[in-house]
A and B are shown apart, each in its own frame.
Chain A
Amino acid sequence: MPEMRLLDAIRLGMYEEMKRDERVMILGEDVGLKGGVFGATDGFYAEFGEARVLDTPLAESLIVGAAVGMAANGLIPIAEIQFSDFIYPAFNQIVSEAARMRYRSNGGFGCPITIRAPFGGGVEVHGGLYHSQSIEAFFAHVPGLKVVTPYTPYDAKGLLKASIRDPDPVLFLEHKRLYRAIRGEVPDDDYIVPIGPAAVRRQGTTLSVFAYGQMLHETLQAAGQVAGEGLDAEVVDLRTLRPLDTETILTSVRKTNKAMVVYEDNRFLGYGAEVSALIAEEAFDALDGPIVRVAGLDVPAVPYSDPLAGAFIPTAAKIADAMRRLAAY
């Protein structure tokens, strides 16, 4: 079975869908002639043509708004926002329009679009304040949207295909640090990873850690570090942020009785708040310790200079420390 990077898996997923269904098309800045600033659509322009691999003007609201219209008239658009930091001009189109089209028309119209956006930062990324942000909290909040973020290349291809085929708008978040850093086996065939179910990446008994994106990676490292100390962490990959797989989360907490959420975004009102509230509300009896959040600092995004970026991002070492403290409670 071929092994490939996360980025390649994403490209492959789009490629297969473009070939499979002529209604599928891609639009965004630099997606065509350049093949995408990260190379995600490399080669597509030559194969599928300018009309289906559309280089748009520099206008994010247009990218999503036009996608909404295209989807209403028989196309299946994949709208690429070049960096999640730039998604805000499209916020209105995503929240007021795409997410509500079905509800406001009482089921009359739908909006089968996929919005892809690279997110996240870190010392290696050198993205600074405007090329490193996490945005999932804003959008996972919105009924009518689905929000997905893969960790393994296998998931990347399968989830992207599922997103493209989904009749509802899906925000597909790709952590840019994982693009070239993660390699994994990706089958050739036309498989789907369903949107919704989380994945237990590491079975454990001492405590449950819920994470996604680059933080999933750090958490697995941390779990490895503390394993030698007799701390057996269960690590769950929340690859779908909305709808949330409450079943898997609660089952894990009932097993280990201690819960932690790790996310790169600003701590306050970040995604961890929802997971914590869920666990407190529905697994209160199972808790043998407080629910802990390990997250990015509450400063406006990841600074550029290495030491500053390092201070912002939760690392394996910080996560391991938090695991030890929770285990000792």
Chain B
Amino acid sequence: MPVEIKLPQLGESIHEGTIAKWLKKPGDRVEKYEPLVEITTDKVNVEMPSPFAGVVKELLAAEGDTRAVGSAIALIETEAASAVSAGGAVHAPAADAASGPGRGPAGSDESPAPERAAAAASPARASGLRLSPLVMRLAQEHDVSLAVLETLHGTGAGGRVTKEDFLKYVAGRAGGAGGTPDTAAAGPSAPGKGMTAAGDELVKLTPIRRAIAQRMAQSKREIPHAYGVIEVDMSAVAAWRDAHRETSKRDGPAPTYTAFFVRAAADALRAHPFVNASWTDDGVVVRKAINVGIGIAIDDGLIVPVLRDADRLSLTGIAAALDDLIRRAREGRLGIEDIQGGTFTITNPGVFGSIWSMPIVIPGQAAILATDAIVKRAVVRDDAIAIRPIMHLGLSFDHRIFDGALAMQFLNHMKTWFEEFRDGR
């Protein structure tokens, strides 16, 4: 039966060889160890002896061909018995074909410790809770008691509650999932990964989408949100805008509603500094600067350029700064300094028709303001029906930092500012 002659490993780090000259041709008889072919490599040139006795059946490479070590270069018709030893003789069962002389099977030294540690831990689980230093810290940060931890489903070694198990629990809790944490996993849920129906399409996440997703999830996970809404009569502002439509164009960009929102917010933030703050474990950091971020919708998603020191600018100044920021945002020309350092954010879903929103607080801030659509409504004034442009002003806030009373004070401050707006403010 024919056996393959393989190009031998002629030296350490040699991976290929070139057929220089065949010393036998098909039909020729070759004895065991008789020279069969001349091979050149970049280290050594050799005359390769045939490992078998037999008749050359076929040459699988031509003179001048380069072949990888271990590839078949010829077939020899042998007496059956001698066939077995060929390829197997060269390589030890576990050895790498490309390894050099003296290199035996390379075993990696797997530490047996993790298995042992896990095994040792299992009995401990039965008698007590096994929590890593990290999980303990997270539990503290999220106000999760040991009693609750004990009920959590652990997927780690020996049933240990891992970081992932813990975070999953916290996410479920913030989302208002009812029932005990243990059953949450078993409850009905949206089709998870891997469960797609015919016609479903997977849209891969862009970096900006991924970033937004991560920030939103983090915010909801970590910040206990609460909400306040107030109704604002925008007549005074609307009237001023109408009156100044022509003249303000001449002086520069006309203040948009957004400019008014920023001006009013800056004023209210000055009066109620706790709304311009950050939560930390050590305490609430009340920010000195009032840097207002404006949520802007762009192609991919959302971007929040920051108008710095909004309390130091006049309405006109704010209008100009906003104009510049928004233009650059739409053109994709914002720099890193334009999007960092925000202490408060305003979002304007009103432009899309929303009359009541509950936006998500940006991590590191205390609150986010939503200005919904200004809609003409019938309202009661002096016990008579009047038509007024009404806007709902909503504040989503971090309930750790302040409570509903302050939220309403803040919103009322802005309401008063809008409703008492006069020239020169």
Residues of A within 8 A of B (CB): 281-282, 284-285, 287
Contact = CB atoms under 8 A, between A and B. Distances in A.
Contacts of A287: 133
Given A285-B120, A285-B130, A287-B133, 12 more contacts: A281-B111, A281-B113, A281-B114, A281-B117, A282-B113, A282-B116, A282-B117, A284-B117, A284-B132, A285-B117, A285-B121, A285-B124
Contacts of A281: 111, 113-114, 117
Contacts of B124: 285
Contacts of A284: 117, 132
Contacts of A282: 113, 116-117
A284 B124 CA distance: 13
A287 B130 CA distance: 11
Interface of B: 111, 113-114, 116-117, 120-121, 124, 130, 132-133
Listed from nearest, the 6 A-B pairs whose CB atoms lie closest are A281-B113, A282-B113, A285-B121, A282-B117, A285-B130, A284-B117
A287 B133 CA distance: 9
B129 to A, nearest CB: 11
A25 to B, nearest CB: 36
A138 to B, nearest CB: 20
Nearest to A284: B117
A287 B117 CA distance: 13
Contacts of B114: 281
Contacts of A285: 117, 120-121, 124, 130
A282 B113 CA distance: 6
Nearest to A280: B113
Nearest to B132: A284
11 contacts: A281-B113, A281-B117, A282-B113, A282-B116, A284-B117, A284-B132, A285-B120, A285-B121, A285-B124, A285-B130, A287-B133
Specify which of A281, A284, A285, A287 lies most central, judged by the most chain B CB atoms within 10 Å of its CB: A285
A209 to B, nearest CB: 21
A284 B118 CA distance: 10
A73 to B, nearest CB: 28
Contacts of B111: 281
A185 to B, nearest CB: 39
A287 B121 CA distance: 13
Contacts of B117: 281-282, 284-285
A285 B130 CA distance: 7
A296 B111 CA distance: 29
B331 to A, nearest CB: 50
B154 to A, nearest CB: 14
Contacts of B121: 285
A284 B130 CA distance: 10
A146 to B, nearest CB: 20
Contacts of B133: 287
A96 B279 CA distance: 61
Nearest to A288: B133
Specify which of B113, B114, B130 lies most central, judged by the most chain A CB atoms within 10 Å of its CB: B113
A141 to B, nearest CB: 14
A284 B111 CA distance: 15
A152 B395 CA distance: 73
B136 to A, nearest CB: 10
A4 to B, nearest CB: 42
Contacts of B132: 284
Nearest to B111: A281
